[in-house]
Structure 1
Amino acid sequence: MGRQPPRYQQIKQYLLENIRTGHFPADHQIPPEEQLAVTFGVSRMTANKAIRDLVQEGYLVRQSGIGTFVTDRRSESPLVEINNIADEVRRRGHGYANRVLSCEAISADDEIALRMGVRIGVTLFHSILIHLEDGLPIQLEDRYVNPRWVPGYLEADFSRQTPNEVLVAACPISDMEHVVEAVLADPQAADWLEVEPSLPCLSVRRRTWSGDHLISYAHLLHPGDRYKLRSMAHSAT
């Protein structure tokens, strides 16, 4: 008689089967951890591990205080369609530069742990950069990176390589998921972007995978009068 797989793997397979058959379609809220734990006769921690793995692999996304939902993978794009912002600026015949505001190791808080599919308190790399076109800020990039997949991220020289180039050098980027919306910049972001707080901005929240590994989550903010949505579909990952 064959050995039964670990209980958390049974929960993973149950959820994956429902996702792949369409029983749990995109944006569907899956059963909560407590219910899965009771159904499979396991601890809540075991159910949490199954869900955390599927978040890491890109099948689920957690929304704090609401629940866990099936992701819409229709937004996946091959790397060839995701250009490096420095190359994008240079193709327009303009000068590219960036300013590094911070680059450090941090402990994941509740929100970032949910977005990165890791436990609260896990060490992640965090960088904040301003990308410039002919000296004018066009993008504020606030990025979190999993050190397991990009261990040399903090040692990168961003005057020579953008975060996009560092990620690509470490891992082949296979998939992405993003949410685009119009927002007003908070006072700190407006100051960094050198815009008035009342100016509408284009916001992209993007998660990036290499195979089954979620390697990066980035919030990209662009002044609305300096960046077009058509161009943003090809911005830095």
Structure 2
Amino acid sequence: MTIPKFAQIKQFIVNNIRSGAWLENQRVASENELAEQFSVSRMTARRALSELTEAGILTRSQGLGTFVASFKSQSSLLEIKNIADEVKARNGNYSCTVLVLESISAVAPIAIALGVEVDSVVYRSVLVHNENEQPLQVEERFVNPALATSYLQQDFTALTPHEYLSSVAPLTEARHTVEAIMPNSEMCQWLNLYHEEPCLQVIRRTWSSSGIVSFARLVSPGSKYRLGGHLTFKK
């Protein structure tokens, strides 16, 4: 299947950002430069830049050019909100699809993230949060069983992991990183994307007073991104 030229340009730009070749706030190639490089019209190049700008991956300044957006900006003003409440605040209809709810042996990266021993048992969930029956966000979460013993027994169509964990292990701290990614075929299926498009991935670790509670990966279509930050909650 031939990839449209504008999609090739988008992929080229995203790859340069992901690899670090183009840094945050750096000026990217102009419409004319991209049109010449890919042998396309300026309209095709403009479409690629416009779609990435709409997705929050690029930012455009009249008379100055197009720049890489600050995806990894850190903001202490960031709030951890319950996604169900966010949807309802927009007068949307929230629902959740549970794809995976299981216990697994922690491989090294997960064990390190949760502060547990390698190969120890941890809980894993994969959920799709929906707004008006359309996928809004995929949440893959690993949970420390010692701090949320009944995690696997919860009905996450009735309450979110955030709500449950906040009740059994109240948050005292959270750390986030945010980056642009291109979703794989499985993620495209979960998000009901007809073709690959830039998505924003949030990696989040949360603590309670007793230790690390969870390690989560949240993936949303690129038009729905959030800044990252380090929060300390008031007791």
State the TM-score, normalizing by the size of structure 2: 0.62
Residue deviations 1:48-103 (CA, integer Å, cap 9, x gap): xxxxxxxxxxxxxxxxxxxxxxxxxx87789xx32100000000000000100010
Mapped pair 1:229 → 2:223: no
Provide the aligned length of Structure 1 versus Structure 2: 156
Mapped pair 1:155 → 2:145: no
Partner of 2:179: 181
8 A contact 1:108–1:121 mirrored in 2: yes
CA distance in 2 between partners of 1:178 and 1:198 (Å)? 24
SS in structure 1 opposite 2:145?
coil
CA distance in 1 between partners of 2:75 and 2:213 (Å)? 17
CA distance in 2 between partners of 1:75 and 1:156 (Å)? 32
CA distance in 1 between partners of 2:206 and 2:80 (Å)? 11
For residues 28-107 of structure 1, what are the structure 2 equivalents within 5 Å? 81-107=79-105
Amino acid at match of 2:220: H
SS in structure 2 opposite 1:93?
coil
How far did residue 153 of structure 1 move? Answer: 0.5
Give % identity.
39
SS in structure 2 opposite 1:148?
helix
Amino acid at match of 2:120: V
Structure 2: stretches of 5+ with no match in the other structure: 1-73, 230-235
CA RMSD of aligned residues (A): 2.0
8 A contact 2:147–2:210 mirrored in 1: no
Q: 1:189 to 1:171 in 2, by over 3 A?
A: same
8 A contact 1:76–1:175 mirrored in 2: no
Q: 103, 127, 132: which one pairs with 1:134?
A: 132
Mapped pair 1:220 → 2:218: yes
SS in structure 2 opposite 1:214?
strand
CA distance in 2 between partners of 1:76 and 1:170 (Å)? 25
Q: 1:209 to 1:203 in 2, by over 3 A?
A: same
Residue deviations 1:120-153 (CA, integer Å, cap 9, x gap): 1110010000000001111000000001000010
Q: 115, 118, 136: which one pairs with 1:117?
A: 115
State the TM-score, normalizing by the size of structure 1: 0.62
Amino acid at match of 1:129: L
SS in structure 2 opposite 1:198?
coil
Structure 1: stretches of 5+ with no match in the other structure: 1-73
CA distance in 1 between partners of 2:191 and 2:134 (Å)? 8
